[in-house]
Structure 1
Amino acid sequence: MDTTIAAPESDRRSPSPGRRIAAAVAVLALAAALVVVAMAAFRNLGLLVLTLVLVALAVMAGWTALVNRGTRRVLAAALAVVLLVATVVLLVVAALQIDASAIGRAVLLLVLVLVSVGAARVALGDDLTGPRTGRQVGPARRGVLLMNPRSGGGKVVRFHLEDEAQRRGIRPIVLHPGDDLRALAEEAVAAGADVIGMAGGDGSQALVADVAREHDVALVCIPAGTRNHFALDLGLDRADVVGALDAFGDAFERRIDLAQIGDRIFVNNASLGVYATVVQSEAYRDAKLGTAAQMLPDLLGTQAKPFDLRFDRPDGEPEGTADLVLVSNDVYHLESMTGFGTRPRIDDGVLGVVTVKVDRARDIPALVTAEATGHIQGFRGYRAWSTREFVVDSAEPLVDVGVDGEALRLAPPLRFRSLPHALRVRTPLSARGVPRRPRIGEAVPALLRVLAGHPAA
């Protein structure tokens, strides 16, 4: 009989003596590491400042080269190379002057950092994972697993998923070139499948999730794609591809949100602007960096034409353009434009909206700094909010959109909406929730709480 349960909270109520000792070790090791760093910085303050300045200038010169063409690109690239060479020469000269005591301090610092990080992981345990509510359910009666053998560089074959599924009593269906994934999923449900799984990328996960939603059957996500962002936010171990099959047995089931653009479902996010335009290129998959470098001058250069993306800001005022628009199924914690981060929850029933607007003439250095330091939220052209519905219009006949990593061109207006609790999803009982990576400012107070005998969060 199924029973409604919540995530195990015993560890959060009273940290064990072992966890409290680990918290003490983590805090003391961190304090000792900071002392070592402070002493080294005091002895080599001039070298440190000069190195940071050279690196910052090299990054800015490199970005200038990316967003320009012709003579400007050549000169900026040459300057970046010169600055990097100067940095390397400076570090080599400094290294030649290093004595045995300096090497000893470096080794000591490395050991202290490793000890602090390892002890912190033990001390914090699962306290900083996302909330987990739902119910425990029994094994699937007629489980079906759809598999894309081309996803993730061939993970289906590499991990012998077809054999592993059969061994567990799950009917495997392997996609072949030309197969219609949605039709296969519909046929599986029509044949009586009560749990349907997908081993593939997030675009395939979204398509099968839509079928599962329409027929109210449970979905199992097998992380056999390349990045597997959906699996990460479900709390799965993305490295344990075979272990995800345990969700067809005794498992944990809950309802999560889906998002929709027009009539298309997505599980992660849809992007417009710079990223969406770059991924449209046929050369992008084979040469990502080269393609981006070739296209960026036309997208973010000083002479680049602004994107025609129109939408309402959270205060209701209209916005006529943005260089990046990211609409997500629930809210991401973002640190940079190149990484979409993680979602603490995927059952809040909202869309997360992030927009970035770049003033070509004066914002590039600030954008580079914010991106390089992982503080994109501090960039002045960054806005983020949540909403149930969102509309993007444009005068263009078709707008480039990247949906769960797939490049599309869609006719405006683009209408996004959240579908709260639309999907039943199963995860193994061993899945512990979405891990959070606390920053120093958050981790130290959490460790002190554990040391005092209280839950970390």
Structure 2
Amino acid sequence: MVLVLAVTAGGLLIVVAELLGLIVCAAGVWWFLAHRGVARLFGALVAVAAPAVLVLLYIHDGLWRTALVLGLCWGAMLAFGHAALRSSLPKRSHRATAARRPKRPVLIMNPKSGGGKVGRFGLVERAEKLGAQVILLDPAAQSDVAGLARQAVAEGADLLGVAGGDGTQALVAAVAAEHDLPFLVVCAGTRNHFAMDLGLDRSDPSRCLDALTDGEEIRVDLGDVDGRAFVNTASFGVYADIVRRPEYRDAKAGTALTFMPDLLTGEDARRIEARVDSTALPPQQALLISNNPYTSPDALTGGDRRPRLDTGELGVLGVRVNDAAEAADLAVRGSQSMGLTVTTAQRVEVTSSTPDAPGAAEIPVAVDGESLHMPTPVVCTLRPAALRVLLPRDRPDIPAPVPPVTFRRLIALAFGRPI
């Protein structure tokens, strides 16, 4: 039916118009991000006007019914495609084993994390009631979280846990992995990507504490960037440059819009050079190295999940967009665009090339959202099955994410080929 509508009753006009509208909208978004002042305003107007003009065109030419039906058909096709791809994927490979109840669990809690979730959900009181020792970080002082975890191990802790953001999680997870102790994730951060991919209930962090009395254990990989562990991502380029700005913590969106033009096209524009295993990448504006691969490029915006945390591979996502035409190509072709790199690796070596300081001695790196500076080259690797994670038995069963629906994948599925 979609094919019939696409070539009859104005359907071909609709398809062409929507393709052109997508290209124009993408170009407008690029102008909005890469410029300031009048050019930014022009880009915003173009991005908003493109879909509005399409709607007016459909109404004027009496094509709105055909456009609506065609849109519904495409939506149904995508829904059925997602369902088919999801059903074809193998089950999650995480094999949980029965866990003994810890005798001396120690939990480190950040009262500021996630807008005060520790206090709002009564995590300290509940943890202590379940027999855990709680170390409450001082919001007014800089705490050595890894040092506190090592001290707890020296004093006999047989489990380490964190109620805080992913950056804090990674620091304590490294200590737990070093001593082969179970690690408890309490999702009290803002986004809790690691907890989401573990299937934990992010709406109620107190449910994570059920693992202390009725838990099971899995082993997952741990990312490593120059000796520092990460549970989610190590980011280079545009995002890392934005995160290091002092004002970023209080105004993320505003800071990003303020500095984006300089970081994309200005004199401060940084190009990241990297070697993925034995292959050299062309200079990238943004490079994201993940602890296990995400299923689609949405990982760059935080809109994706990792179906597995035990593949033994790093995920690699890179973006290279220099003008409005390349932005449009990325919007239209997605993962097939020349400006996007999507691959996996065992080892990634990152260096920096900037207009004013080629081969700079240090580059900014955002490790699980924390801003750091590291000497080049920065090497990212993976520690397979390094971390023992203690999970509650009763946790949301999040379905495995599916790759983007493309004709190539659907045809491969129809003929029984690997997707």
Same fold (TM over 0.5): yes
Q: Does 1:386 align with 2:348?
A: no
Distance 1:41 1:240 in 2: 51
Superposed displacement of residue 202, structure 1:
0.4
Matches of 1:172 and 1:422, distance apart in 2:
25
Cα distance in 1, alignment partners of residues 104 and 110 from structure 2: 20
> Secondary structure at 1:331's aligned position in 2?
coil
Other-structure match for 1:223:
187
**Using the alignment, how far apart are the partners of 2:138 and 2:327 within structure 1?**
44
1:195 aligned to 2:159? yes
8 Å CA contact 1:41, 1:48 repeated in 2: no
Aligned to 2:201: 237
Instruction: Name the residue aligned to 1:310.
Output: 273
Mapped partners of 2:87, 2:205: distance in 1? 23
Give the match for residue 367 of structure 1. Answer: 327
Matched, 1:173 2:140: no
For 1:167, the aligned partner's letter is K
State the shift of 1:88 in Å. Answer: 3.6
Q: Would you say the 8 A contact 1:311–1:391 is kept in 2?
A: yes
1:141-180 equivalent positions in 2, closer than 5 A = 141-177=103-139, 178=141, 179-180=143-144
Q: Deviations over 1:134-167 (max 9, x none)?
A: 4111322222222111111111111111122123
Asked whether the equivalents of residues 58 and 81 of structure 1 are also in contact (C-alpha less than 8 Å), the reply is: no
Confirm or deny: 8 A CA contact 2:284 2:318 kept in the other structure: yes
Structure 1 pair 44–244 and aligned structure 2 pair: CA distance change class (3 A): farther
Shift of 1:314: 4.4
Amino acid across the alignment from 1:392: V
Q: Equivalent residue for 1:451? A: none
1:326 corresponds to which residue?
A: 288
Amino acid at match of 2:32: A
Larger Rg: 1
Separation in 1, partners of 2:337, 2:399: 27
Q: CA deviation at 1:411?
A: 1.8
Which of residues 67, 73, 76 in structure 1 aligns to 2:34?
Answer: 67
Residue-by-residue CA offset, 1:168-192 (whole Å, 9 max, x unaligned): 2222222113233223222322232
1:165 to 1:97, Cα distance in 2 relative to 1, 3 A? farther
Amino acid at match of 2:307: P
Aligned residue among 348, 351, 355 for 2:311 = 348
Distance 1:322 1:232, change over 3 A: same
**In structure 1, distance between residues paired with 2:278 and 2:87:** 40
Identify unmatched segments of 5+ residues in structure 2: 353-358
CA deviation profile, 1:193-212 (whole Å, cap 9, x unmatched): 21221111000000110111
Cα displacement (A) at 1:381: 2.9
TM-score by length of 1: 0.73
User: What secondary structure sits across from 1:383 in the alignment?
Assistant: strand
**Where does 1:20-419 land on structure 2 (aligned, <5 Å)?**
45=11, 50=17, 53-54=20-21, 56-69=23-36, 74-75=38-39, 77-78=41-42, 80-81=44-45, 84-85=48-49, 87-88=51-52, 91=55, 130-177=92-139, 178=141, 179-301=143-265, 304=267, 307-316=270-279, 318-319=280-281, 321-336=283-298, 337-339=300-302, 341-358=304-321, 360-361=322-323, 364-370=324-330, 372=331, 376-394=334-352, 395-419=359-383
Contact 1:62/1:77 (<8 A) preserved? no
Q: SS in structure 1 opposite 2:106?
A: strand
State the Cα RMSD in Å. Answer: 3.9
Higher relative contact order (CA 8 A, sep 6+): 1
Cα distance per residue 1:310-343 (max 9 Å; x no partner): 3324444x45632122222222223233236322
Which residue number in structure 2 is paired with residue 15 of structure 1? none
The 1:127/1:333 distance shift into structure 2, 3 A limit, reads closer
Question: 2:286, 2:51 → 1: CA distance?
Answer: 33
Asked whether the equivalents of residues 247 and 426 of structure 1 are also in contact (C-alpha less than 8 Å), the reply is yes
Matches of 1:82 and 1:274 in 2, distance apart?
24
1-structure distance, mates of 2:166, 2:103? 26
